[in-house]
Amino acid sequence: NAGVTQTPKFQVLKTGQSMTLQCAQDMNHNSMYWYRQDPGMGLRLIYYSASEGTTDKGEVPNGYNVSRLNKREFSLRLESAAPSQTSVYFCASSETFGNQPQHFGDGTRLSIL
Amino acid sequence: GENVEQHPSTLSVQEGDSAVIKCTYSDSASNYFPWYKQELGKRPQLIIDIRSNVGEKKDQRIAVTLNKTAKHFSLHITETQPEDSAVYFCAASNFNKFYFGSGTKLNVKP
């Protein structure tokens, strides 16, 4: 079992470019999440998908869009990247939404110049 | 909404000593309290969790205690080792919300 797989692992963008971060899980989980983690900071929820076919905003959704492509895949898109979006992005999944442990991917380190 | 406060933000202990990290929450509906460990440059990983119908849970050198009345829960690490050095995050959730604390950087000095 690979668990939660994120691609790419690293990316450098120029301001204004667009980018889609991919996430896939093979645990048959219903819920998926996208977080950002700035240096020395905690995890801030960007968007989540409680179940296939649904998506909702988290704490910091501005500048991002998501797509729950199917039960396995949940992508995060930056339409017009800004330097303030330089961060490490983590995808996570859980069996159901809320009171279940979340399993994290290895993260995508994104730098925007 | 829920507010999870975590203290201290940094903690330095000597190898072999115990470490305690505390979290408080505000939403009385929260019923699941996991703890995650994040080593430098790695993903957060679940190390222990507790549900609201239990007051304490142990797994070898780590334990979590929950006081529902006071709305706080704590992570206890005994006989700390250098490999315990990491950032630890608490979280509180119920059926439709999941909130992380801001993290505690634990440094275990050999």
What's the rounded mean pLDDT across residues B35-58? 94
Contact B106, B86 (CB under 8 A): yes
CA-CA distances (angstroms) from residue B87 to A108, B26, B70? 19, 23, 25
- For residue A27, which of A93, A83, A87, A79 has the smallest C-alpha distance? A93
Residue A83's SS3 state is helix
pLDDT of residue B110: 92
In this predicted structure, the answer to whether residue B41 has a pLDDT above a threshold of 80 is yes
Q: What is the DSSP letter of A63?
A: T
In this predicted structure, the answer to whether residue B1 has a pLDDT above a threshold of 70 is no
Q: Chains A, B: CB contacts under 8 A, how many?
A: 47
SS (H, E, C) B66-104: EECCCCEEEEEECCCCHHHCEEEEEEEEECCEEEECCCE
Please judge whether B34 and A101 are an interchain contact, meaning their C-beta atoms are less than 8 angstroms apart: yes
Residues from B contacting A (CB-CB < 8 Å) are 31-32, 34, 42-46, 49, 51, 89, 93-98, 100-103
In this predicted structure, the answer to whether residue A99 has a pLDDT above a threshold of 90 is no
* Other Cβ atoms closer than 10 A to A25: 24
In this predicted structure, the answer to whether residue B97 has a pLDDT above a threshold of 80 is no
Label residue A1 by pLDDT band (50, 70, 90): low
CA-CA distances (angstroms) from residue A113 to A11, A14, A16, A62, B22? 11, 5, 10, 19, 38
What's the rounded mean pLDDT across residues A16-45? 94
How far apart CA A92 and CA A24 sit, in angstroms, is 9
- Whether A27 and chain B come into contact, CB under 8 Å, resolves to no
If you measure CA to CA, which chain A residue comes closest to B92?
A99
State pLDDT tens for residues B69-79: 999 999 999 99
Contacts of A105 in chain B (CB under 8 A): 43
How far apart CA B43 and CA B29 sit, in angstroms, is 28
In this predicted structure, the answer to whether residue B95 has a pLDDT above a threshold of 80 is no
**No. of helices (H) and no. of strands (E), chain A:** 0, 11
Mean residue pLDDT across chain A: 94
pLDDT of residue B14: 97
- Whether A82 and chain B come into contact, CB under 8 Å, resolves to no
